[in-house]
């Protein structure tokens, strides 16, 4: 079959499919079979040179429930076959489930997912033999030259074999082996299923650990649930469900089940960086890595020997965890403001061990928070025991990435300009500027304004922190009104 040479760096420019904060992302119309094929061949070639991968190895492939996912999985499988590898179809399972399978089997793992973004976009998340690719690995993939069949074979769907159920079952067993058999006994838990790929596994796991579950709002149409910017309709749904069904908690995930949502008995969704702290406390973690956008409650609670702040994105959190582990810490983990929890080292609890899983995971957060709530009172009492720091965030959609980057660059380092703009909103003086990722401003009343262009979509995000939930929301509302005007300018 005729072939053409593709340089990945050039392909990224032509196709519009590029690396974001976690994997390659792009519009579905741009993620054509040849583009996805080329990325996969480049990934495998890079592993051959960097990790000694050799043809004949298996490659795990899974995906989320977006309409475009099956086609991309098939193109990925065809690339594996043509490169001499054996694709393993793990089916539609959570991102951490296929990553776990790859780590335990010592093989690459590829997840087709756009995470929480709308289904007109999708992505490919690559895991090398020990876990996620990092930023240096992305550079190595970009540098590859690959061959792509032209015309692209019409029968490429035949490359994807039938589903192997073992990866999904192994992921379930991971938690059944760690948590006591009746860890959730007596809890009434609502499972907001929407279109999350982990909905059936999560429901099964909760039931096997003793919870009385109520399934809520299953959808066969993809719903872009973002755990950092919860939709107003999801806020209202949770409140209604809590009242209607008398639930102790409501749980859910984003589309690929690597980011959790946990609500208390009133239906109030907890922030991801709050449940991240609660999960780390339950697991008795010694040192944590978390992005600069996470709530300062992690330092103020005094539960951890050290907190390493990083740029936003799991590759940066993983690099931070690796550095902490290199210092000889007893236990190391990380979490993101979206709630995804990463475990760098094994942890022990009540004679059971949970092996490391250095990729975002939603299930461990949900299970740890629910188990802690059952032991200590309730989800709301767990949150109330933390220092009173509250975060609220939102985003301006359809905000061109180039425009937001230009605005951030113009404001960076100009304390006088920043205070003139945002001091009016906080009615306070700026005392700190952190440019680690975007611009994070701290004021002398301890309020925080953090501006950051999204790494996955044309959006400008704003994170705000204050000493009450009402003030954090009001602060965010004022900031969003300002940012909306910037988009029009």
Name the catalytic one among 115, 293, 294, 454: 115
Structure-block tokens of residue 164: 């192997």
Structure-block tokens of residue 22: 């976690």
**DSSP strand pairing (347-349 vs 352-354):** antiparallel
Three-state SS annotation for the chain: CCEEEEEHHHHHHHHCCEECCCCEEEECCCCCHHHHHHHHHHHHHHHHHHCCCCCCCEEEEEECCCCCHHHHHHHHHHHHHHCCCEEEEEECCCHHHHHHHHHHHCCCEEEECCCCCCCCEEEEEEEECCEECCHHHHHHHHCCEEEEECCCCCCHHHHCCCECCHHHHHHHHHHHHHCCCCCCCCCEEEEEEECCCCHHHHHHHHHHCCCEEEEEEECCCCCCCCCCCCCHHHHHHHHHHHHHHCCCEEEEECCCCCCEEEECCCCCECCHHHHHHHHHHHCCCCEEEEECCCCCHHHHCCCCCEEEEECCCHHHHHHHHHHHHHCCCCCEEEECCCCCEEECCCEEECCEEECCEEEEECHHHHHHHHHHHHHHCCHHHHHHCCCCCEEEEEEECCCCHHHHHHHHHHHCCCHHHHHHHHHHHHCCCEEEEECCCCEEEEECCCCEEEEEECCCCCCEEEEEEECCHHHHHHHHHHHHHHHHHHHHC
Known catalytic residue at 115 = yes
**DSSP strand pairing (58-63 vs 109-112):** parallel
Could you give the residue numbers annotated as active site? 115
């Amino acid at each position: 079959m005729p072939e053409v040479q593709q340089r990945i760096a050039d392909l990224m420019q032509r196709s519009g499919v590029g690396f974001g904060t976690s994997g390659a992302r792009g519009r579905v119309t741009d993620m054509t079979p040849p583009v996805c094929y080329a990325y996969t061949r480049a990934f495998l070639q890079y592993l051959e040179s960097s990790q000694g991968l050799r043809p004949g190895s298996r490659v795990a492939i899974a995906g989320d429930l977006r309409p475009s996912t099956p086609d991309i999985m098939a193109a990925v499988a065809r690339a594996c076959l043509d490169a001499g590898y054996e694709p393993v179809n793990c089916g539609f399972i959570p991102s951490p489930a296929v990553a776990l399978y790859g780590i335990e089997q010592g093989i690459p793992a590829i997840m087709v997912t756009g995470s929480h973004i709308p289904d007109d976009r999708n992505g490919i998340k690559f895991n090398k033999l020990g876990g996620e690719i990092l930023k240096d690995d992305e550079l190595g993939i970009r540098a590859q030259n690959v061959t792509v069949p032209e015309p692209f074979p019409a029968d490429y769907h035949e490359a994807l074999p039938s589903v192997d159920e073992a990866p999904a079952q192994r992921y379930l067993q991971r938690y059944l082996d760690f948590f006591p058999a009746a860890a959730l006994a007596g809890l009434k838990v609502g499972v907001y299923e929407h279109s999350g790929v982990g909905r059936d596994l999560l429901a099964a796991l909760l039931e096997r650990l003793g919870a009385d579950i109520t399934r809520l709002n299953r959808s066969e149409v993809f719903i872009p649930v973002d755990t950092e910017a919860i939709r107003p309709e999801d806020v209202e749904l949770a409140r209604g469900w809590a009242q209607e069904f008398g639930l102790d908690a409501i749980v859910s995930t984003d589309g690929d089940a690597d980011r959790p949502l946990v609500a208390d008995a009133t239906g109030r969704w907890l922030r991801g960086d709050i449940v991240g702290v609660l999960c780390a406390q339950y697991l008795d973690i010694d040192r944590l890595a978390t992005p600069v956008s996470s709530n300062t409650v992690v330092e103020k609670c005094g539960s951890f020997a050290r907190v390493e702040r990083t740029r936003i994105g799991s590759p940066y959190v993983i690099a931070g965890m690796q550095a902490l582990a290199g210092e000889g810490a007893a236990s190391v983990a990380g979490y993101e403001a979206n709630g995804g929890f990463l475990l760098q080292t094994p942890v022990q609890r009540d004679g059971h061990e949970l092996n490391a899983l250095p990729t975002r995971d939603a299930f461990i957060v949900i299970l740890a928070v629910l188990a802690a709530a059952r032991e200590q009172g309730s989800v709301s009492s767990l949150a109330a025991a933390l220092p009173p720091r509250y975060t609220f965030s939102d985003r301006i959609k359809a905000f061109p990435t180039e425009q937001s980057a230009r605005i951030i660059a113009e404001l960076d380092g100009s304390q006088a300009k920043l205070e003139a703009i945002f001091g009016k909103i906080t009615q306070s003086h700026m005392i700190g500027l952190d440019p680690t990722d975007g611009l994070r401003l701290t004021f002398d009343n301890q309020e925080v304004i953090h501006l950051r262009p999204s790494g996955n979509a044309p959006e400008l995000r704003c994170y705000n922190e204050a000493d009450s939930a009402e003030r954090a929301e009001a602060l965010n509302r004022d900031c969003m009104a300002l940012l909306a005007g910037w988009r029009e300018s």
